[in-house]
Amino acid sequence: MRILQSHADFIEFEPTEKEITSAEQAEKKKYRYENIVVLFVSVEDGDNEDLAKKAIDDVKGFLDKVKGKRIVIYPFAHLSRNLAKPNAALGIIKEMEAHAKKLKIETYRAPFGWTKALHIKIKGHPLAETAKIYTAEDSKTEVKPVLRKTKLPKVKEETLSENDHRIIGKQLDLYSFHEVGPGMVFWHNKGMTIRNALIDLWRKEQQRRDYQEINTPIVLDKTLWEISGHWDHFRENMFFTHLEDRDFALKPMNCPGAILVFKNTSRSYKDLPLRLAELGTVNRNELSGVLSGLFRLRTFTQDDAHIFVTQDQLIDEIDNVVDLIDYFYRTFGFEYHVELSTRPEKAMGSEEVWRDAESALKKALEKKKLKFKVNPGDGAFYGPKIDFHIKDSLGRTWQCATVQVDFMMPERFDLNYVGEDGKDHRPIIIHRVIYGSIERFIGILVEHYQGKFPVWLAPVQVGVLSISEDNVRYAKSVEKKLAENGIRVVADYESRTIQYKIRNSQLQKIPFAIVIGKKEEQNKTIAVRTNDGKVKYGVKLETFVKDVKKEIENLK
RNA sequence: GCCUCAGUAGCUCAGUCGGUAAGUCUCGAUAAAGAGCACUUCACUCGUAAUGAAGGGGUCGCGAGUUCGAUCCUCGCCUGAGGCUCCA
């Protein structure tokens, strides 16, 4: 419902002819009211009685404020293109009239469905004219058909490898995709557990290497992206939004945020290398045809870091980063290959600056004696990069870690640090990610381990299974003890056969199944079945807890 | 975004050459809204990969068209898969 509310010295109107066949009965004479609040009302599709009352309640408030006493409700179709059917509209208008009378407002009404001659003089005070829009909260949208659009996209299992992360993710309840979020993931608790384990490791290793962690906004003013060059070079991949006459963009990269943090204080050469890490969620408008499970998303999280270094520190720091990446990939047992990507056509900056950056990366790689392939023209628009590629289960390779050298952004953002000589110097930025995107990395991990995660990553580490109802009490005490020791445990005390429970535990790829039956209860021990089907009877709970904790500690 | 293919229950799938409300008769036997898993209830209390029974659950992706009638045919859209192109 739309209302144009006018506080008038007087209004005069005269119905001239019927506009629609269902128009109300009315006399073709002149009506005149003085000192009155006129409500020009367009009733829209979906409006209801509650809205009618709400609108009148608001008018009552206005009347009290301006010490008005009378209103005229004037049906006025020209405020909306989404008009209600005449019958419904008239009903709502009458409802408004009735409600106003109930509130003891002196109420008049112009006839519905007539063309009217109109003469009005509106008062000059600031509140004399206001426009209002009311919409029903539970509109008459048919919910059911729309509901079907939140369905999970169908994934034909026969067309995918059984080892595909999209299938395993569903079987293990790690994450899901919905039609309403193309190219976006819904993380379930179990997937989130893996994600958090990865992040914990990431934090730990970076803390050890003198990184600081920051977090910067997801939506930032367009101006920032003009400075960074994204507006010129990355625009077609960005999402924009408009608020209060300003243009904003969802960040497609984290660098400008980190740069603003750097710029926030004056920096000395003593502060460098300054390593600012950020788990940054970025949004990129990828072409719909390239989206693919966790491997290619529109919203994903980069385990980013921007390292601000001096010219002299550049090669050593690249070296540090390459070591760090290698440490991570060895932890997971990944084989990777390295590519060096050079100046693309759509690049910022002079060829000379690019040559310097490319040679810095090359030198670092040669120093490490790492073999690499050169991809001419594949660099980011602001600098060349080293990419680390991992294979998925279908043999396709995916870029995960990258190290990029950037002389450009420091220039554009006019970044400085004060050198030993007391003068300003330009730092160089190293952009780097280790996992690349947490999402893609988990996708690759799922396939790499075929869902059988090492204990430290496994969403559920231990399952406690009771054989009969008699054992539940003891089983619960075991469960509690495990949980107290920080072990991720689930229990199955249903009245099902032990075979059934074992099978479930196996299908969920839980590393350890603890079976509690009469024997265990009597001897105060547990029976431990590992994922490979081997069973050890008569194990002491304390020993088991110790062993599991050790495995977790060693990232196994 | 482009090309090809797909979408039936929470999941994995079968099925329909377009057919519906009730009654009677004849003929024939799995059915044409179905199965398995999951879920709920009941029985069972089990020793290392599936105990049994009953029940609930569907506008056959969304919208339009053709038709007396559409889950099925046609068109458009959405989402997904494979590829192209691009990226972490």
| Structural domains in chain A plus CATH codes | 2-133 (3.50.80.10), 206-449 (3.30.930.10), 462-553 (3.40.50.800)
d(CA A544, CA A556) in angstroms, rounded, equals 15
* pLDDT band (50, 70, 90) for residue A141: low
* pLDDT band (50, 70, 90) for residue A143: low
Residue of A482, A456, A519 lying closest to A198 (CA atoms): A456
* pLDDT band (50, 70, 90) for residue A2: confident
Query: How many angstroms separate the CA of A396 from the C1' of B74?
Result: 39
Query: How many angstroms separate the CA of A139 from the C1' of B62?
Result: 19
Q: Residue A286 CB closer than 7 angstroms to strand B?
A: yes
- Average pLDDT of the residues in A58-87: 82
User: Is the pLDDT at A219 greater than 80, yes or no?
Assistant: yes
Report the nucleotide nearest the CA of residue A519, measured to C1': B47
Q: Residue A173 CB closer than 7 angstroms to strand B?
A: no
For nucleotide B51, the protein residue with its alpha carbon nearest to C1' is A497
d(CA A459, CA A174) in angstroms, rounded, equals 9
Q: How many CB atoms lie within 10 A of CB A443?
A: 28
* pLDDT band (50, 70, 90) for residue A138: very low
- Please give the pLDDT value at position A139: 43
Query: How many angstroms separate the CA of A46 from the C1' of B21?
Result: 35
The DSSP bridge partners found for residue A75 are: A41
d(CA A503, CA A313) in angstroms, rounded, equals 56
Residues 394-423 (A) near nucleic chain B, CB < 7 A: 394, 396, 398-402
Specify the range with the lowest mean pLDDT, choosing from A5-19, A138-152, A391-405. Answer: A138-152
Token pair for A138? 């539970």
Residue scoring higher pLDDT (A414 or A93): A414
Residue scoring higher pLDDT (A46 or A295): A295
Quick one: A335 exposed, middle or buried, by C-beta within 10 A (0-12, 13-18, 19+)?
exposed
Residue of A205, A463, A167, A455 lying closest to A324 (CA atoms): A205
- Please give the pLDDT value at position A162: 83
- Average pLDDT of the residues in A104-112: 89
Q: Are A226 and A348 in contact (CB under 8 A)?
A: no
Residue scoring higher pLDDT (A234 or A23): A234
- Please give the pLDDT value at position A63: 86
Q: Residue A25 CB closer than 7 angstroms to strand B?
A: no
Q: Where are the alpha helices (DSSP H) in A126-254?
A: 143-147, 165-171, 189-208, 222-228, 230-233
Q: Where are the alpha helices (DSSP H) in A110-254?
A: 143-147, 165-171, 189-208, 222-228, 230-233
Specify the range with the lowest mean pLDDT, choosing from A121-130, A234-243, A330-339, A452-461. Answer: A121-130
- Please give the pLDDT value at position A81: 64
Report the nucleotide nearest the CA of residue A520, measured to C1': B47
- Average pLDDT of the residues in A62-85: 82
Residue scoring higher pLDDT (A80 or A37): A37
Q: Are A112 and A86 in contact (CB under 8 A)?
A: yes
Residue of A243, A275, A249 lying closest to A262 (CA atoms): A275
Please give the helix or strand (H or E) that residue A505 lies within, else none: helix A498-507
For the full predicted model, state whether its pTM sits above 0.95: no
User: Is the pLDDT at A530 greater than 50, yes or no?
Assistant: yes
- Average pLDDT of the residues in A53-71: 84
- Please give the pLDDT value at position A131: 79
- Please give the pLDDT value at position A52: 80
Q: Tell me the per-residue pLDDT of A494-520, one tens digit each, with 9 for 90 and over.
A: 999 999 999 999 999 999 999 999 999
d(CA A327, CA A323) in angstroms, rounded, equals 6
Residue of A390, A389, A386 lying closest to A402 (CA atoms): A386
d(CA A539, CA A501) in angstroms, rounded, equals 20
Q: Tell me the per-residue pLDDT of A346-369, one tens digit each, with 9 for 90 and over.
A: 788 888 888 888 998 999 899 888
d(CA A50, CA A401) in angstroms, rounded, equals 57
